[in-house]
Amino acid sequence: MKGAEYPGEKWNVVSAADAGWNVDLLAEAKAAARQFGSIASVAIHRGSVVASSGSASKKVVIRSVRKSLLSALIGIEVKRGRIRLDNTLGELGIDDVAPSLSEAEKQATVGDLIKARSGIYHPALAESEQMKADRPVRGSHPRDSHWYYNNWDFNALGTIYERATGRSVFDGFHADIAVPLGMQDFHPDDGAYLRGPESEHPAYHFRMTARDLARFGLLYLRKGSWRGTEIVPRAWIEDSTKAYSITPDGSGYGYMWWTTGRDGEAQSEATVLRNADLPRVRYFAHGGFGQMIGVLPAAELVVVNLAVSRSRSAEEQRRLGDIVRLVARAAPG
């Protein structure tokens, strides 16, 4: 990878024009971000900031981007031997409030949960109304036979992580990722749990800045290595960003990461055909109302957006994609 730079205490900022970028297209991208309602947008090329708009130091609830952060933490613990993907929920003693899990549901594995293929359709915390409406009937699909974007899976993984490590998701992220990467803003107090009667497994919400999330995206672009030190196992990142399922909208889904299967690293012919109109984001973390970390390895590019958009909709995702598309088109050949 050319010019494998990393940020120090602060991000290095380079002139987009001097670096060969199309500044007119970048201006269009910034205008699109402002119109979208972005709080902050940042483009990182070869380890330096080439474009930004808004306030990259403002902390925002990143919504479902949280799931990709937990995926990294689980990968670290898999290598340490404290979490195994083939462990079943029954073996781990994972259950939930009544109506509790059936014996069949307890056969789901950690690996099933991280791919959103558990077959467990118990009510969960932080579900949107659409997620509730789309949730299949309990017992309708055996484990690892059906993909459903399932907050029960994602939240239960938080419980599994905390039992395995003896610390909170937020403390773990701070110690194992934020500190080694030199994040400027994140502190464990920026995390908060959402609890309720629906489930015993809380949602773990993060408030983060665009400039800190850009470091996380760069870590993944660099296959888990930071200044020569492995932070997240390279093999885990490669496995995490493969498409194990093709979702109803044509995206791929890995280990709590989305993939378009493009950017020169297609996962399958079907993925490419169904995503012909999507920007060339190889994989991305996405949260409702405009939160995203997009990673484009072939372009050596990371794009982060934080926003408070008007609605959670397909139109929102299309407009967010337009911002990324403009940035990608602006990049030097």
Q: Express each pLDDT in 267-307 by its tens digit.
A: 444 444 444 444 455 789 999 889 999 999 889 999 999 99
* Residue 193, domain CATH: 3.40.710.10
Neighbours of 187 (CB within 10 A): 12
- Do 86 and 22 lie in one domain? The reply is no
- Do 178 and 213 lie in one domain? The reply is no
What is the model's pLDDT at position 310?
59
- Do 228 and 284 lie in one domain? The reply is yes
Where a domain ends, among 173, 206, 239?
Answer: 206
Rg (alpha carbons) of the chain, rounded to whole number? 19
Give the total number of structural domains in the chain: 2
Residue 318 near residue 286 (C-beta atoms within 8 A): no
pLDDT tops 50 at residue 325: yes
208 sits in which H/E element:
strand 199-208
Where a domain ends, among 206, 231, 258?
Answer: 206
- Do 122 and 163 lie in one domain? The reply is yes
Q: Give the range of the structural domain holding residue 219, as residue numbers without chain letter.
A: 1-58+209-333
pLDDT tops 60 at residue 229: yes
Q: Which of 86-90, 105-109, 131-135, 287-291 has the lowest mean pLDDT?
A: 287-291
- Do 217 and 188 lie in one domain? The reply is no
- Do 136 and 227 lie in one domain? The reply is no
Cross-strand bridge partners of residue 315: none
- Do 117 and 190 lie in one domain? The reply is yes
Where a domain ends, among 144, 171, 206?
Answer: 206
In terms of pLDDT, which residue wins out, 321 or 162?
Answer: 162
DSSP state of 125: T
- Do 233 and 321 lie in one domain? The reply is yes
Distance (Å, whole) CA 218 – CA 235: 16
